[in-house]
Amino acid sequence: MRRKLAAGNWKMNGTGASLAELQALARAHPAPECDILICPPAPLIHRAAQAAQGTALTIGGQDCHAETSGAHTGDVSAEMLLDAGARHVILGHSERRADHGETSETVRAKARTAMQAGLSAIVCLGETLAQREAANTLDIIGGQLSESVPDLATGENLVIAYEPIWAIGTGRVPSPEQIGEVHGFLRARLEARFGAGVGRSVRLLYGGSVKGDNAAEIFAVPNVDGALVGGASLTAADFSPIVAALNASA
């Protein structure tokens, strides 16, 4: 049985003072029926992991390099994330693909390195509005899935996050039918590639303008195993209702 996952991506937000939100979130959900993950900026990971000790929260990173070490000024390796206390890492987010020119092949290399280091890779996929309107969504998502996920993926080291680019931070949300179509397609593709055991054990998250008032409807969609949440994860007050909705669906 797949355990649901509420993942928060703080993006380039937060300072040490923000860690109080972790403590508030942990107090609100001392024994949740789902997993709760917060991915703060790299400088906060170690302190966040310390703050999360003894709670139901786990900590992750927002990116890692495809190499294990070397002359890559400003980059962070998977082993560094693990050493700092991270257990997951977000890879291939649309903002990384757009702002840093990351290709699916780059994401695949990063995911392989992350998995080999012992991290769970949250691989992000998503189409633009133009691609959605051209009815190319499944072609785009299918290509990203096959090219971004390495062969050593399992249900323990891989999470897939479907984030339609046109829904991130815009307040626009696909219909339950649209989300269900993509998640059903992803499940079928994973089962075809990795077999039923692995394919059915990989958690599929939805991301893009998830809020407390729409979370329950999203989590009722088949094959939605949780959410990757951006802005609404920055405070316990905003993220807690999403966690509560996921708990109720577990």
Q: What is the torsion angle, in degrees rounded to the nearest 10, for the CA atoms of residue 109, residue 113, residue 118 and residue 124?
A: -30
| SS3 at position 236 | helix
Determine which one of 21, 95, 127, 163 is catalytic. 163
Q: What is the CA radius of gyration of the chain?
A: 17
**Would you list the DSSP string of 176-240?**
HHHHHHHHHHHHHHHHHHH-HHHHHHSEEEE-SS--TTTHHHHHTSTT--EEEESGGGSSHHHHH
Instruction: Output the furthest CA–CA distance in the chain (Å, rounded).
Output: 48
Determine which one of 21, 93, 95, 127 is catalytic. 93
In whole angstroms, what separates CA 188 from the centre of its chain? 20
Residue type at position 97: R
- The whole-angstrom separation of Cα 250 and Cα 54 is 22
* Residue 209, phi-psi category: left (phi > 0), alpha (psi -120 to 50), beta (remainder): left
Respond yes or no: is residue 93 known to be catalytic.
yes
- The whole-angstrom separation of Cα 169 and Cα 211 is 11
Phi, psi of 205 (to 5 degrees): -105, 150
| SS3 at position 175 | coil
Phi, psi of 124 (to 5 degrees): -95, 140
Respond yes or no: is residue 46 known to be catalytic.
no
Q: What is the torsion angle, in degrees rounded to the nearest 10, for the CA atoms of residue 63, residue 69, residue 74 and residue 76?
A: 30
Active-site residue numbers? Answer: 93, 163
